[in-house]
Each structure stands twice: as structure tokens, then as C-alpha cells.
Amino acid sequence: MTWHRHGTGSPVTLVGHGLGATPGEARLPTSGVPGTRVVVTLPGHGDEPDPEPDYWTYPRIAADLRAAAAGTGATRAVGVSLTSGALLSLLADQPDAFERVVLLLPAVLDTPRPALPREEAITAVGGPPEYQAQRRAAFARLDHALARLPGQTAVPDRALLARVRAPVLVIGATEDPLHPEEVAKEVAAAFPRGRLELVPSWLAHRAPVRRWLTDFLAG
């Protein structure tokens, strides 16, 4: 896994992306966040080489995010879909890892999600044809991830997250079949200082999502 810095100064915010995201897509949620944004690129994405098939577990991805935070001095973190699950795993093990956390479109907590065919993973979120073409190219490399991630949970027990004292913003969607609204509600409720915001879909409501995220990370 690699990461790239955008912006300068403090605070430093670690930004993780969802499965199949392009490097440009990974930057979108935090484009207005002040300070330094450290945007990661997971294996099997962008110019990164494909990992071993057993890479695709939430704790393994969490270990990479933990290393990136330590190497860059990140005190805040943003996870999208897959990396929101990895951040849940990280926080269950290290509750004081960050001062503020944003979890965008969480898909799993402590109940496994069902298997998802590749074509459904590509098309379920909608978007214009060029976006669908980008997702199809990205997911052509991710069959191992699609095979291994279903059946896993982000944390073994949501009660572990009660130890997290940092504010946590959870943004879910009411019309996204890949990221159930109920999971977002459960994730927000698992944190003592959890806050939930909902939109119909991320693609069609980027402006309010970016505003909530920017204001929250600005304190």
C-alpha cells in the first residue's frame, strides 16, 4: 500500500477508499478538508501491484492503515466502505488511535454480509456509463477480494467500540444496496460519541456529505 499527501500543515487526515475506487475517486470526499490529506492506495488499485489472495481481511487492511497513520502523523481518519470496515477493526483494537473519525458508507459491523457477484458490485451504485466503465476495469483485478470479504465482520463484537472516546461521524445512504442504512445506524450507535447523517445516495449528494465531513473534521 502507498499513500500520497495533498495540502499542507495540520491537522493530518488519513483517507482510505472503497473497494474498486480509482485514485481520483479516493480524493473526492475530503477535497475541502483543511491541513494535510494523506490518501492511501490499497493493493490491487491504481498502480499498486495485486496482493496475495489472503490479504483481503479487515484486520490486515487495518494494519496497513495503522502503519500509514504512524508514518505520516495522522490524527484524524476517513474511511469509505471497505476502509470504514478496516477503521472499525483498527479502533476495536486501538480505541485512542485518532482524535476524530469519519466512516462513510459502512457496509459491515459484527454481522457478515452476503457474497456479491462482480457485476452487481459494479452496477449497483449507478452512475454514468464512463463511471461504470472505470468500475468494471477496477473490479477485473478484485475477484479475490469479492470472494474473501463476504462472511467476514469488521469487529467480532460491537461492544469493543464503546471504548472509543473520539467523536465519530457516520454517513450512510438510504438508497444504496451495497451499504445498508441499518448498518450505518448500528455503527453510529456503537460509539459513545457517534453521530449519524443519512443521504439517499453518495453519488447524487456529494455537496452535503462534503460539508458535513469538512465541518466535522474542522472541529
- What does the pLDDT look like over 162-172, one tens digit per residue? 999 999 999 99
In the predicted model, what is the mean pLDDT of residues 53-78? 97
Q: What is the pLDDT of residue 13?
A: 96
Residue 38 has pLDDT above 90, yes or no: yes
Q: Are 83 and 60 in contact (CB under 8 A)?
A: no
Q: What is the pLDDT of residue 77?
A: 97
Q: Which of the four pLDDT bands, split at 50, 70 and 90, describes residue 206?
A: confident
Residue 27 has pLDDT above 80, yes or no: no
Helix axes 58-72, 82-93, angle to 10 degrees: 80
pTM: 0.94
- The mean pLDDT of the chain is 92
Q: Which residue has the higher pLDDT, 114 or 105?
A: 105
Q: Which of the four pLDDT bands, split at 50, 70 and 90, describes residue 204?
A: confident
Q: What is the pLDDT of residue 119?
A: 85
